[in-house]
Structure 1
Amino acid sequence: MLIYFLKKIIAYPKITLIGTLAFCIILSFFSLKLQIDASADSLLLEDDKDLKIFREISKDYKSDDFLIIAFKPKDLDPFSKQSLEKLKKIHKDLENSYNVERVLSIINAPLLQSNDQADLKELIKNIPNITFKDINLSKAKNEILNSPFYKNNIISKDGTTTALIIYLNPDLKLNQLLDQKYKANQLQKEKYQNQIQEHQNSQKIITKKSLDQIKHIMQNYQKNGDELYISGISLIAEDMISYIKDDLLIYGFALILLLSLALYYFFRSLRFVFLPLFICFISLSSASGVFALLGFKITVISSNYVALILIITLSVVIHLITHFIECSNKFPHAKIQNVILATLLAKAKPSFYAILTTMIGFLSLVFSNIEPIIKLGIMMSIGISLSLVLSYLFLGSILVLLKPKNYSKKEFKFNFLNFCAKSSLNHRKLIYTLTFLASIFALAGISFLRVENSFVNYFKDGSEIKKGLLLIDTKLGGTLPLDIIIKFKDNSKFQNNDNLDSFENEFEALSNEKTYWFNAKKIRIVKKIHQYLENKPYIGSVLSLNSLLTLGKNINDGKDLDDFALAFLNENLPNDFKKDLLSPFVNIDKNELRFTMRIVDSDPNLRRNEFLKELNKELNDLLKNDDVSVQIAGVMVLYNNMLQSLFSSQFNTLIFVILVIFILFILIFKDLKFSIIALVVNIIPISVVFALMGILNIPLDMMSITIAAISMGIGVDDAIHYIYRFKQTIKNKNIKEAILNTHNSIGSALYYTSISIILGFSVMMSSNFIPTIYFGALTIFVMILLLLGSLFLLPSLLITFKKNQ
């Protein structure tokens, strides 16, 4: 069947070429519709139970989408006349910006201690701010610097940096669609997901317009030594889209240049520069069209598909071209059609098995439980399958149509390949000793591997996004949000008691009304928890009902607010101030309190998982006699869940790859010893890389988790090609001749493909995203080790195995 198919390709090259090209152009057209997704949801575990809790809390407490602009004046005094004037203008411009609901800064922050109005009831009717005519500026500055609501939120502890919090118009429709999706059955969920996607696409336009306008305002005021930095979920998502687009562009152009030089260096023929590049890029554009048709989106992680598809496609093409040149030189007078057919047939099985093992490597990523990693695995499996088919169709047709010529060989490689072969023949003890030491290093180093990672450190030093995140993280109370929900047992609802007289029943009913929900017990619990959180390491800003209690005490001559005073504030605070001072921390309908805090994410000593476990244990111990339940939630919990899943995911993907590839080896080689040898040669280099990560304190992240599966999938290709050729050669030659012959034939293809793969992954080191840079560097290192394993350790093991037979 395969021979018949290949003969048809070679017999009708023009029809094959035109038909295949037309098919690829149609698919490539759809690639223009491929979308980029840099939302926070793309980095979360979709089936995470904490995600549902987080969304419920966001809905109950109406969490707003906001941005933070940090303003650091040149004179380091935000309260100077010049700084306040500039802040007023910035504040006003931001309030008039597109899609901005409101802005909170020291300009409009409510001040309750900075005038002579002593009566609380009168004061809250007309709460002043720093711009009021009769305000005492010295008192206002002191109040803002010491306010429980403003310190570490809109003003730094040292008073040198202030923040403008920009609240964007809430996306009510998205919340409604998400709510409907989670209540729907499995069939309806897809419908709602499509609606959510359409809505998010339209919202992206609104968000981009808003962000562009805000950035333009910042540029107008970023002069005379004053520094302004912006941060926020919407901004990070928008910047990530720009980063992904830049990476895709750089990957494409850099790979064209590097691979063109490499191909010419290998083959010394322009046709074998343009032909492989043409096949690579037509395969890439066709695969992109397929991804668009399937509704896949490009994330930070899957943006690497560009380099990966180009690299893997090129490795297939290089193996085919190398064998074609070898056959052409071996049979110079043979018809070109026969040479091409012999090449395609000879490489059919090893190429198929090589792509199959690479697919298995990528498909193992479905066990990661992280949506973008799963999508990368599926996308790459589809992409490289398409690449194999297109490589055969285009090479089979184009080589027939090209004018035959003599192909020269680049002889430099054979010195190196001969050295590798002779080392395997004569110095196996040294190779085994180095392998043993590498194995010991791997076992020791892997124990230091960790998943701890700071989101701030995902970005390059000096980038605007990192500058903003670091300033807010270190000066304005942290960047990683965390919530604690304290739920009281629902035992306070009024039930009629015949043993109580009518007056007591009436009093009990009255005490259960919302107005009188506050009581001494709740106030005591609030103070106790808040004080504990403020003294907890790594916690920056803490806000809760206690913040209002502290504020009330300050304006009440140092006297604590009682439950009646709180009830009064609940009833009489203006809505604008109630939205900031009370509603985010109290949910009377659900009988619960909320504590919001931000964690200093950039602290190098922070161990997120241990911190959360310790926080949960200590809070439960603290409240064990208070008849309440504790729930920890927020972005930090979701981020930590993703990080912790990496360990189990790494184990699952690696075990899956090893087992399936081992079974495949047995089917390919039909020999248990060959299969074990091929597996060992690939496992040791990958283990060394993970050990190196542990020793160098490079954390396992959402990119490096894919290294094992990808490297294993690509790396076994070398072992398959080498052993496949060795088994054919050993039939007619002694072991020494077989090793030398295999090295000087298939070894050159391994050398070419490995160099191309290394060059391909090197472009990732130009990324704006630190995990991508690590991924590129570590994959280069593992590919070098895999090449050395195939050229030194693999033949050594084959010699030992054959001698012991």
Structure 2
Amino acid sequence: MPRLYSALVIDRPWSTLALLLALAVVATIGARDFRLDASSDSLVLETDPDLAQWREVNERYGGGDFLLVTFTPARDLLAPESIATVQALRDRLAEVDGVASVLSMVDVPLLRSPPAPLSELADNVRTLTSDDVDLELALEELTTSPLYRELLVSADGRSTAIQVNLESDGHYTRVITQRNELLIQRQREGLDDAQRAEFEALQRELEQLRRAAGARQQRLVADVRAVVDSFRNGDTLFVGGVTMIADDMLSFIRGDLRTFGIGVLLLVIAMLAFFFRRLRWVLLPLACGGLTVLYMVGFLGWVNWPITVISSNFVSLLIIISISLTIHLTVRFRELQNRDPTLDVRTLMIDTVQHRFWPCFYTAITTMVAFASLVSSGIVPVIDFGWMMTIGVGVALVVAFTLFPAVVMLLPDGSGRETIARAVGVTALLARGTNAQPVTVIVICALVAVLSGWGMSRLTVENSFIDYFQKSTEIYQGMAFVDEHLGGTTPLDVIIRFPDEPKFEFDDADDPFGDPFADDDMLSGDPFDDPLMDDAPEDALGADRYWFTPDKIALIEDVHAYLEAQPETGKVISLATLHAIAMDFNDGEPLGGAELAFVIGAVPVEFQEALLAPYASPSANEARISIRMIDSDPNLKRNEFLQRIEHGIEEETGLDRDRYELSGMMVLFNNMLQGLFQSQNTTLLWVAAGILVTFIILFRSILLGLIAIIPNGLAAAAVLGLMGWLRLPLDMMTITIAAIVIGIGVDGTIHYVHRFRRELPRAPSYEAALAASHNSIGHAIFYTALTVAAGFSMLVFSNFNPTIYFGSLTSAAMLLALLANLTLLPAILLKLKPFGPAGTAL
């Protein structure tokens, strides 16, 4: 061990602690800016080309983010008290800062309550608050209208939805668009100095905007919830929407951090107290883990580096890794102390560090290589997670080898033989079994590998938003209610582009049908002016009303009908929906060109934003079909569905593929999941390759490198295979579980091989070296694995299903890695004898 280390750490413990404390103060200051980013933007890929299109669609059609508030009164839905409640709720929601507009059943025009000619409706549009509205007919219209049924009012007429449209930040959208364009260019061809400077400036501005947007979103959701809670007097209300999903994810993750912190603290205290039987050996691992997390949280706060859903478990991982490093130091120190109680603390500490530094160092390096390999995924949240863990493991190593020796040097001597809960029964049993039947162990593990590979072939990523939450949570109940009664949750759009049409200019001299006796005033203005429209109200569309032609409507109706026939879709709305309503005024017959122009022009300006603007853009020569997906449908397979309709629209309607696009949050979220799934193989290959190279450098043997990677590869394959057999889909958290298992599992592998090599020269046989290794380092591996597994098991108390799966599967994987390191690894060493004959110096 370098003398410099002894001089700086072991011989100057007070100085070491003072430095660690000073860094802790700096980290505490930075920790105030630590944040979690669970916005809807964090659920998509930044460089996804569909993301730019989605933002363009939102800007053009006014979609944007929205919340849904469902209201089921204890009395009739259209009772005066219920209508008054909806009005009051609408008005209160409209006052919330960040809300752009609110649409409720009291705001929409009623066309059949009572029935009236279309020419009269233009001047006298009724709503539920009109004096002459027939409430009985209004309920029938709201529950049967193709526009309102299962969108604003449930089919049974008992519930209604209030759509709360949120303000969009145009500046934020422009900044992120410019940044993403430069990001894509940097990945493809690189940036020059000016572009790099622009990119860095945009990145800094974007971080500030994201921080402000996150705070606004959190306040807005809290304010909306507060308003809704104040109206629960005997009535049933739920709040839903993608923004609510993102906010609840953030809330659950924060809760998990608290739950994990408290739960793991209590559990680890109990386990360490059982293992080591002294307070100092309980508190020291906890102190190392806590200080490591504080340093990393402070660092992330200082550099404005937020964590996302994917990287939210980095705290739990760092605590576990830090505690495992400290356990190895503790076990070695106590082992030496029990072997010779007369040795002073300084001698014991020097020996402990000498024998544990290099195994721990290579363990940390190998784990860092595993996490650093995640940068090969090409997906920003996964890359960020990889770098966070790589840095964090390095911090954990430094903290363990500074805080632990400094504190122990300052504690009372405590010399003498100490009692310790030995894992003799388990490790000895595994040693005897492996020594007696190494071939059987290898065959059993080979069968496990085959079954794991079979299970891995069944893996999918087809999960839904609703599957992320427990059935007891409000967000789950709200999403399920909307899916069942109000048309679905996750938005999907189909954008139809129409071919450009020639524009005609009318000239009297060139008109072969011109009337030479006509008055000039008669020829001025709109050549398509309809005298029927003379008494119609002024409309905002102007000449754009002639864009709505029968051919366009017919094509939209074909696509609409195809989408509506799909079992996974909920409410589908488009111009076809409005045309179906208009046909009721035309004896059920389709409208001609002049009739369409009249109807479109007759829609009052105040209703055009709700009825026309979301579904047609004459200036862009496009139409939009809005779909709500039934997220709770157990048969919904996102990727398969999107591929089916992508080809089905062309096959069923004859519309050329280049004339329509799919957009919406469903497309973006599916792209992210598919990107994660496709990147997993690449990531695992890089993880395996990186660890293999590290093992070869560490053990200076290709054969040993290959042997060492087998146990952890089996543990990772087994947990993925288990997911496949149980039909548990990969999600944003579990997608990284294989790399995590390999990265943490190598801890036991390195320590075991290192100890085996030390025992072999003084052992008469490989079997004796195996027994000695199990009886020494085997205990540390056993304690560490149980502590890790128990710590992750606390995550099963979450309300966020990905966290539950992550915790339970990681716990299982750590136990599998423990078994593999204490059975399969020594069995292979026994059969291959990679170190040469026993009893000889290596």
TM-score category by the smaller chain? over 0.9
AA of the residue aligned to 1:177: V
Q: Percent identity?
A: 35
Picking from 723, 741, 745, the partner of 2:753 is 723
- 1:357 is aligned to 2:366: yes
Tell me which residue corresponds to 2:576.
546
- 1:652 is aligned to 2:682: yes
Conserved? CA contact 1:260–1:273, under 8 Å:
yes
Conserved? CA contact 1:489–1:627, under 8 Å:
no
Picking from 462, 480, 485, the partner of 1:470 is 480
Alignment of 1:614-625 (within 5 A): 614-624=644-654
Tell me which residue corresponds to 1:276.
285
Compute the displacement of 1:27 (Å): 1.9
- Secondary structure of the residue aligned to 1:406 is coil
Take 2:599 and 2:176, find their aligned partners in 1: how far apart are those partners? 34
Take 1:261 and 1:503, find their aligned partners in 2: how far apart are those partners? 97
CA 1:486–1:394 in 2, change beyond 3 Å: closer, same or farther? same
Q: C-alpha deviations, 1:325-369, integer Å up to 9, x for none?
A: 112223333332222112112111111111111112222222334
Alignment of 1:50-129 (within 5 A): 50-74=50-74, 77-118=76-117, 120-129=118-127
AA of the residue aligned to 1:688: A
Compute the displacement of 1:384 (Å): 1.4
Tell me which residue corresponds to 1:157.
155
Compute the displacement of 1:159 (Å): 2.5
- Secondary structure of the residue aligned to 2:230 is helix
Conserved? CA contact 2:370–2:690, under 8 Å:
no
Picking from 571, 578, 583, the partner of 2:608 is 578
Tell me which residue corresponds to 1:21.
21
Q: C-alpha deviations, 1:23-82, integer Å up to 9, x for none?
A: 23222321121012110111211111111111111112122432111112335x423455
Conserved? CA contact 2:69–2:163, under 8 Å:
yes
Q: C-alpha deviations, 1:611-653, integer Å up to 9, x for none?
A: 1111011112234367971111111111111111122121011
Compute the displacement of 1:4 (Å): 2.7
Greater shift, 705-714 or 130-139, is seen at: 130-139
CA 1:337–1:415 in 2, change beyond 3 Å: closer, same or farther? same
Compute the displacement of 1:171 (Å): 3.1
Alignment of 1:729-748 (within 5 A): 729-734=759-764, 735-748=766-779
Q: C-alpha deviations, 1:676-705, integer Å up to 9, x for none?
A: 221111111221111111111100111111
Q: C-alpha deviations, 1:270-301, integer Å up to 9, x for none?
A: 11111221121111101111111222113233
Compute the displacement of 1:85 (Å): 4.0
Conserved? CA contact 2:734–2:805, under 8 Å:
yes
Greater shift, 556-565 or 261-270, is seen at: 556-565
- Secondary structure of the residue aligned to 1:221 is coil
Conserved? CA contact 1:255–1:760, under 8 Å:
yes
Structure 2 residues without counterparts, runs of 5 or longer? 183-194, 515-522, 529-541, 838-842
CA 1:411–1:168 in 2, change beyond 3 Å: closer, same or farther? closer
Alignment of 1:244-255 (within 5 A): 244-255=253-264
Greater shift, 433-442 or 190-199, is seen at: 190-199
- 1:177 is aligned to 2:175: yes
- 1:675 is aligned to 2:705: yes
How large is the RMSD of aligned CA atoms in angstroms? 2.6
Conserved? CA contact 2:275–2:421, under 8 Å:
no
Alignment of 1:173-252 (within 5 A): 173-182=171-180, 185-224=195-234, 226-252=235-261
Tell me which residue corresponds to 2:495.
485
Picking from 377, 390, 394, the partner of 1:381 is 390
Conserved? CA contact 1:64–1:168, under 8 Å:
yes
Greater shift, 649-658 or 339-348, is seen at: 339-348
Instruction: Tell me the TM-score normalised to structure 2 length.
Output: 0.90
- 1:566 is aligned to 2:596: yes
- Secondary structure of the residue aligned to 1:478 is coil
Conserved? CA contact 2:550–2:591, under 8 Å:
no
Alignment of 1:370-449 (within 5 A): 370-404=379-413, 405-449=415-459
Take 2:607 and 2:207, find their aligned partners in 1: how far apart are those partners? 35
Take 2:642 and 2:527, find their aligned partners in 1: how far apart are those partners? 39
- Secondary structure of the residue aligned to 2:423 is helix
Compute the displacement of 1:438 (Å): 0.8
- 1:134 is aligned to 2:123: no
Take 2:406 and 2:654, find their aligned partners in 1: how far apart are those partners? 77
CA 1:319–1:189 in 2, change beyond 3 Å: closer, same or farther? same
Take 1:682 and 1:181, find their aligned partners in 2: how far apart are those partners? 40
Tell me which residue corresponds to 1:769.
800
- 1:780 is aligned to 2:811: yes
Q: C-alpha deviations, 1:696-751, integer Å up to 9, x for none?
A: 11001111111100100010111111001111111121222211111111101101
Compute the displacement of 1:772 (Å): 0.7
Take 1:204 and 1:729, find their aligned partners in 2: how far apart are those partners? 56
Q: C-alpha deviations, 1:92-113, integer Å up to 9, x for none?
A: 4334444433322222221112
Q: C-alpha deviations, 1:357-400, integer Å up to 9, x for none?
A: 11122222223343332222111111110110111111222222
Tell me which residue corresponds to 1:754.
785
Conserved? CA contact 1:489–1:628, under 8 Å:
no
Conserved? CA contact 2:562–2:652, under 8 Å:
no
Alignment of 1:286-365 (within 5 A): 286-365=295-374
Q: C-alpha deviations, 1:577-605, integer Å up to 9, x for none?
A: 11111111111111111111111111111
AA of the residue aligned to 1:139: L
Take 1:201 and 1:22, find their aligned partners in 2: how far apart are those partners? 28
Take 1:312 and 1:174, find their aligned partners in 2: how far apart are those partners? 38
Compute the displacement of 1:130 (Å): 1.6
Structure 1 residues without counterparts, runs of 5 or longer? none
CA 1:628–1:416 in 2, change beyond 3 Å: closer, same or farther? closer
Compute the displacement of 1:462 (Å): 0.9
Compute the displacement of 1:513 (Å): 5.6
